[in-house]
Structure 1
Amino acid sequence: MDFDLDAYLRRLGLDTVPVTPAGLAALQRAQLTALPFESLDPFLGITPDLRLDRISEKVLARRRGGYCFELNALLGAAMAALGFPVRRVLGRVRKGRPEPGPRTHLAILTEAGGRPWLADAGFGGPAPLVPLALDDEGEQAAPNGRYRLTHDPTTGETVVEQLTPRGWFQLYGFDGAHVTDADIDAANHVCATWPGLPFARHLMAGGYRGDLRIGLFDRAATVERPGGSEKRELRDRAEFAALLRDRLGIAAPEAALDQAWARLAGAKAAQKV
């Protein structure tokens, strides 16, 4: 289907996007601010439909969120429509683990201003708000922190790292292997159904509001701001719904909220037995 670029840009609050590094940075930051990350569908036993029209209907029209395969599909479609080259890569999430996971994170390689860039608006964690320059081996400043790209000689991957108070923390790695639609469909199925990954077992959501990043892992809500963070446990369905809808802008149906909260509350009760 044809991608409705105008509807996408309206959702992001953008008028035009120049095919420049500054335009690319504005696009990624606007999407990360407007379109939240959320894994409600896999948590409820639903494998996300990756047809672009279905993603657009879910995220743009119904004002839901999505995870990397959905959010970066939208970003890639918009970039292509605007004139940016788009090359998809599948990364392995690390998040500090000694061994990387399977190839289940979708990101995008592109070029702007004569330089190569990594664009990503679908990582459900503290990834940079703006693209990273692939030809820069030093620290790169983003509005939400400092990042760098390193090389892992064991896997041959380029690794995205974030500077934390405890040092450099690995987020995910990727290589230049060609990625097909079938690869992405298979990775989506694994993410949504395999118990070895968190999406079918835990509810995750996150998004940016100004200089705040709001996150949810099951019942644990986190607000990160410059200089510190706060964490609390959601006590009831009303707080749960308010966080998703009012703070993150996820317009989930009432039935889905009921089902998700019942599962979260049941897991909490089981821990007390």
Structure 2
Amino acid sequence: MVEGESGLWSGDELDLDAYLARIGYDIGRDGELSTDLRTLKAVHRAHVRSIPFENLDVALGRPVPLDLKSLQAKLLGRRRGGYCYEQNSLLAAALERIGFRVAGRGARNRTRGAALLPVTHALLVVQAEGEQWLADAGFGWQGPLEPVPLRDGARVEQGGWTFGVGTEDEGIHVLRSLRPHGWTDLYAFSPQTLYPGDFTVMNHFSSSHPESRFLGQVVAQQPGTEVRRALVRQTLTTMGTDGVTEERVVTVDELAATLETDFGIEIDDEERAGLERVHAAGV
């Protein structure tokens, strides 16, 4: 079973109608909400499709609160995105409100070669139909579109993208992605349950520590069925299901339009000015 307490993620405080509207989930079209696998997959996919991964507040030197009121104001009301702690805290609240059992986990990113990185990625484990599922709306353009079965040897295809789960020593789970050259590790995590307070501690590091990769640059990412996109510093990269990638440089003058057109991120004039300064400084 997934460990966790009912109400841990403040699901009872969530404006469920606003959340469903933000992710484009229509009950009449997509089905009634229930604690079944169909609902879990549909909500997860709709969330990932609609709310982009981005670090803009970190780039602007702003705090990144994780309380549900702040998350709703930013991700739902202002139609902004967020990074893993924000995305998965909001998703956890929504799933909890629907009735799912949700627990947090902390992972080490493995996408940057052999470097042993600290545990800074937040994800979720959800119980559905007698099985544990890895749910993660916050790993950016390389993340899964739908939940992945949390069992050794699991392999799922999601719209042309294939993900798998392996188990290593000490019960460590590894999420992998199948690329043309073979399997690539995305991240690894232990079965230890994390709580909202643990997300807060990791969030503090990622939003303010000098070694955090989110400081001093603009990051926006979006996984997709056909194409995945990532803007990191000045480079916009697109990747298709065949593994072919294309890159182009985004100039300061193109930044705001790129955020809106490619990622659906709406920013105000003050944010635009600040992000353009960050973008220009990173050249």
Write the mapping of 1:176-255 to structure 2, written as runs, cut at 5 A.
176-208=191-223, 211-227=226-242, 228-237=244-253, 239-255=254-270
Matched, 1:256 2:271: yes
Select which of 161, 164, 169 maps to 2:179.
Answer: 164
Q: 1:156 Cα shift?
A: 4.0
- Please name the residue that 1:271 is paired with: none
Distance 2:167 2:224 in 1: 32
Compared with structure 1, are the counterparts of its residues 144 and 218 closer, same or farther at alpha carbon in structure 2 (3 Å cutoff)? farther
Matched, 1:98 2:114: yes
Select which of 24, 29, 49 maps to 1:13.
Answer: 24
Distance 1:157 1:224 in 2: 29
Q: CA RMSD in A?
A: 1.7
Compared with structure 1, are the counterparts of its residues 245 and 116 closer, same or farther at alpha carbon in structure 2 (3 Å cutoff)? same
In structure 1, the gaps of 5 or more residues are: 269-273
- Please name the residue that 2:38 is paired with: 22
Deviations 1:19-55 (A, max 9, x none): 2212211111100110000001111112301111101
Which is worse superposed, 216-225 or 54-63?
216-225
- Identical counterparts, % of pairs: 32
Distance 1:47 1:194 in 2: 12
CA contact (8 A) 2:74 2:80 kept: yes
Matched, 1:115 2:131: yes
Matched, 1:72 2:88: yes
TM-score by length of 2: 0.88
In structure 2, the gaps of 5 or more residues are: 1-9
- Please name the residue that 2:7 is paired with: none
Compared with structure 1, are the counterparts of its residues 217 and 144 closer, same or farther at alpha carbon in structure 2 (3 Å cutoff)? farther
How many residue pairs get matched?
266
CA contact (8 A) 2:151 2:165 kept: no
Select which of 63, 67, 72 maps to 2:79.
Answer: 63
Q: 1:210 Cα shift?
A: 5.3
Distance 1:219 1:3 in 2: 36
Which is worse superposed, 198-207 or 136-145?
136-145
Select which of 57, 62, 67 maps to 1:51.
Answer: 67
Select which of 51, 55, 58 maps to 1:39.
Answer: 55
Distance 1:266 1:127 in 2: 29
Deviations 1:222-269 (A, max 9, x none): 2223333321001232x211111122111112221221122221221x
